[in-house]
Structure formats: structure tokens, C-alpha cells
């Protein structure tokens, strides 16, 4: 079956021509899928019945079904658990900010990166998502809320740079002016730091923001938290960040989850400041979310404030990630796990 919703407009045009239809049908189909967010061929009213029948027999039109949605009474944040066409589950989050509506999407079912504080990786990787499955998280949320999404962060379940080709395809389709036309400047990709793929991404001529999950300022401490640190040293990562900036002109941000007694000392803050300065990075501090299966504890509010202060005194641009949806299963990958432990897949 042709995964028609993952095809770029050029590829769709090729396909449509290959079945002896004219190119304008491809433009119509693309608009139905990526602007009107149609969920079946039957609703595409200007497509002739014979073509619809052919498409139904040759193509799959990927849609995600909402399994559950939880809405925060505090701030309106919505957490979605989606069922994929093969029965797997991923989660996405809809958040309202002053500057617009933001959606956090998953890029894989599970993850094989093994970060010790993360719930998504506990049972490893099941599979990567297709471009259509990434897009449809945003489409389904747009339809459900009736609100335009202006910002997308790829920070849900999975390591986006471990699903490189589909990720780049997804970004190009999402920002295409024949689709939802979300500005690349409003798209953020978060990675645990797969150096060769960061360098590859730098060559794609994209205007996205790259967030690097650093979480430690020395190799020894990073290795305790993130197995990927065995493959790439902090020095290699910083060289790679500089190369990314030089090539794209886009500033990188560092994600830094504060784990009690592990990476939250004043000395850590000073070392982190030097790293951030060396690549001109902005730092986003995340109070670590407790994960049931893990023993890590979040730093105290006082320690978080002191850590932030220290960075600021060192002249670093720093924010603390706002916690939204704290009354619903907030933290990364925990909704899917909860669902799984209740007997589903
Ligand atoms: N794999 C990518 C993107 C998904 S994780 C990455 O590593 O960046 C998105 C962010 O949430 C990462 O910075 C990740 O380290 C962080 N994260 C994961 N589990 C967390 C937890 N329990 N508490 C706080 N942040 C967490």
C-alpha cells in the first residue's frame, strides 16, 4: 500500500501521474489531506469516484484515533494518548501559551536511548513513526480543539534523530505553504545528541530550533544519566553545536533536567556556563519529573533557584521550563506506560 499522507507534493504528483491522472489531482489531494485535514477519501468532494476507488485500493490514509484525552483544570493543557493504525500508542500534548498554541509530538513508539530518568525508554524501542503519523498528531489535535497550532516541539516519546529521514520529511511537509504552513522557526527538535545526525541536519537548510538534552556538564556525570554519552563526548558535542550554528545561524538551546544531588551543584552550574558560552547556547532548566520506575528525585525549589541564579550571574540566558498540566499525567511518556500497565499495548 502507498502511504499517501507521507508523500511530499512532488512525490504525490509522480504517483498520480503514474496512474494516468493529471497533476492537478495531486494538488487537490494534498490540500484535502494537509489543509482540510480530511480523514477519509470519501470526504474529498471534488475527487471523481473512480479515482477515489483506485486510491482506496492502493493507498493507506493514515489517521490516529484518540484513545484518551485529559484536560488540565489549571491551565487547559491537553494530554492525548493516540492509537496508531497498527494498535501501538503514542502521546502528544497541547499547550496554550501567550504567543500561540503549541503541540509536543512523539517521533517513535518507545525509545532505545536509555536515559535513566526517562519513562519512554524503559521497554526500549518498538518502531519509528512515519511522517504521516507525526503529522497526524498535530492534525488530530487541530480538529479536536478547533484551534490553530502555531508551534511544534518534537519532545515527546522517542529520539527524533534516530528517525532521521521521516523527521526531515515531516518538518518539510509541516512547514510547506501547501500544507499547514507552520513556520520552521516555530518548530523545535530535541535530541539527546547523536552527533553525526546533528551534522547532517545542519546541511538540510532548515530554520528550525535545535534543543540538545545535555543534562550534565562533565562526561563522567553525563554517562551516569545518559548511555548516549558513551558514544559521544561533551567535547565532540560542543564542536558539533558550533558547526551547527556556523552552518545554520540558528542558536542551540541546552535542556538541563535538575536531578537532586546529581547535577545541581554550584560547580555544575559554573561548568555548564562555560559550555553554554562556548556555543552561545540558551539554557532551559527542567525540574526532573519523578518516574515511578526510577529512583531519581527532583532538586528542591531552593536549589533550582540558586542554580538559575548562578547561571545568570555568569551571564547565561536561562529559563525554567514552565510546568503545565501538573494535574494530569504530566511527565514524558508516562501516559503510554500507564495505559500499557493497565493491559493494553
Ligand atoms: N529524545 C529526545 C526528545 C524526547 S525527550 C531528547 O532526548 O531530547 C524531551 C526532553 O525531556 C529531553 O530533554 C529529555 O531529556 C527530557 N526528559 C525525559 N524524561 C524526563 C523526566 N523524567 N523529567 C524531566 N525531563 C525529562
Is 67 considered catalytic here? no
Examine the domain organization and report whether 163 and 248 are in the same domain: yes
Examine the domain organization and report whether 278 and 235 are in the same domain: yes
Pairing between β-strand 108-110 and β-strand 125-128 as defined by DSSP bridges: antiparallel
Examine the domain organization and report whether 237 and 274 are in the same domain: yes
Residue nearest to atom 9 of ligand 1 (CA): 155
Examine the domain organization and report whether 124 and 239 are in the same domain: yes
Q: DSSP secondary-structure letter at 191? A: E
| Residue 162 near residue 112, CB atoms below 8 Å | yes
Give the SS3 label for residue 224.
helix
Distance 265 CA to ligand 1 centre (A): 20
Q: What's the pLDDT band for 345 if we cut at 50, 70, 90?
A: very low
Average pLDDT for residues 325-331, to the nearest whole number?
Answer: 68
| Residue 318 near residue 328, CB atoms below 8 Å | no
Is 332 considered catalytic here? yes
* Per-residue pLDDT reduced to its tens digit, 189-234: 999 999 999 999 999 999 999 999 999 999 999 999 999 999 999 9
Provide the pLDDT for residue 55.
98
Which CATH number does the domain housing residue 88 bear?
3.20.20.70
Domain enclosing residue 29, as ranges: 2-60
Mean pLDDT across the chain: 94
Q: What's the pLDDT band for 327 if we cut at 50, 70, 90?
A: confident
How far apart (Å, rounded) are the C-alpha atoms in residues 286 and 284?
6
Examine the domain organization and report whether 39 and 71 are in the same domain: no
Distance 338 CA to ligand 1 centre (A): 18
* Per-residue pLDDT reduced to its tens digit, 98-143: 889 999 999 999 999 999 999 999 999 999 999 999 999 999 999 9
**Active-site residue, selected from the candidate residues 11, 31, 91, 104:** 91
**Domain count along the chain:** 2
Examine the domain organization and report whether 219 and 286 are in the same domain: yes
Examine the domain organization and report whether 190 and 255 are in the same domain: yes
Last residue of a domain, one of 21, 36, 60: 60
Provide the pLDDT for residue 329.
65
Cell of 242: 558550533
Examine the domain organization and report whether 12 and 93 are in the same domain: no
Examine the domain organization and report whether 193 and 129 are in the same domain: yes
Examine the domain organization and report whether 131 and 14 are in the same domain: no
For cell 517513535, name the residue.
Answer: 108
* Per-residue pLDDT reduced to its tens digit, 245-263: 999 999 999 999 999 999 9
Pocket test for ligand 1, best of 93, 104, 110, 115 (most atoms within 8 A of CB): 115
Last residue of a domain, one of 42, 60, 78: 60
* Per-residue pLDDT reduced to its tens digit, 134-164: 999 999 999 999 999 999 999 999 999 999 9
What is the number of the ligand 1 atom nearest to the C-alpha of 211?
Answer: 8
Q: What's the pLDDT band for 324 if we cut at 50, 70, 90?
A: confident
Examine the domain organization and report whether 102 and 225 are in the same domain: yes
Amino acid at each position: 500500500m502507498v502511504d499517501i499522507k507521507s508523500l511530499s507534493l512532488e512525490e504525490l504528483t509522480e504517483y498520480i501521474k503514474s496512474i494516468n491522472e493529471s497533476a492537478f489531482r495531486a494538488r487537490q489531494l494534498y490540500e484535502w489531506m494537509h489543509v482540510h485535514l480530511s480523514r477519509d477519501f470519501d470526504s474529498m468532494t471534488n475527487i471523481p469516484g473512480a479515482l477515489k476507488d483506485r486510491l482506496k485500493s492502493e493507498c493507506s490514509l493514515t489517521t490516529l484515533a484518540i484513545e484518551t484525552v485529559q484536560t488540565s483544570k489549571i491551565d487547559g493543557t491537553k494530554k492525548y494518548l493516540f492509537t496508531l493504525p497498527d494498535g501501538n500508542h503514542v502521546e502528544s500534548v497541547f499547550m496554550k501559551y501567550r504567543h500561540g498554541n503549541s503541540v509536543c509530538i512523539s517521533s517513535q513508539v518507545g525509545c532505545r536511548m536509555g536515559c535513566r530518568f526517562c519513562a519512554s525508554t524503559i521497554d526500549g524501542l518498538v518502531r519509528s513513526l512515519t511522517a504521516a503519523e507525526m503529522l497526524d498528531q498535530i492534525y488530530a489535535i487541530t480538529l479536536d480543539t478547533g484551534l490553530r497550532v502555531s508551534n511544534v516541539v518534537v519532545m515527546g516519546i522517542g529520539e527524533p534523530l534516530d528517525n532521521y529521514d521521516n523527521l526531515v520529511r515531516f518538518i518539510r511537509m509541516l512547514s510547506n505553504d501547501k500544507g499547514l504552513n507552520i513556520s520552521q522557526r516555530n518548530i523545535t527538535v530535541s535530541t539527546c545528541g547523536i552527533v553525526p545526525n546533528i551534522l547532517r541536519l545542519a546541511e538540510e537548510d532548515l530554520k528550525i530550533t535545535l534543543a540538545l538534552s545535555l543534562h550534565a556538564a562533565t562526561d563522567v556525570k553525563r554517562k551516569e544519566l545518559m548511555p548516549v554519552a558513551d558514544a559521544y563526548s561533551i567535547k565532540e558535542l560542543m564542536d558539533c553545536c558550533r558547526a551547527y550554528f556556523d552552518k545554520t545561524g540558528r542558536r542551540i538551546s541546552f535542556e538541563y533536567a535538575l536531578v537532586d544531588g546529581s547535577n545541581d551543584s554550584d560547580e555544575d552550574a559554573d561548568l555548564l556556563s562555560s559550555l553554554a558560552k562556548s556555543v552561545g547556547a540558551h539554557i532551559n532548566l527542567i525540574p526532573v519529573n519523578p518516574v515511578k520506575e526510577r529512583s531519581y528525585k527532583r532538586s528542591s525549589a531552593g536549589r533550582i533557584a540558586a542554580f538559575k541564579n548562578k547561571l545568570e550571574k555568569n551571564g547565561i540566558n536561562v529559563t525554567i521550563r514552565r510546568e503545565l498540566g501538573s494535574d494530569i499525567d504530566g511527565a514524558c511518556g508516562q501516559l503510554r506506560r500507564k495505559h500499557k500497565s493497565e493491559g493494553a499495548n
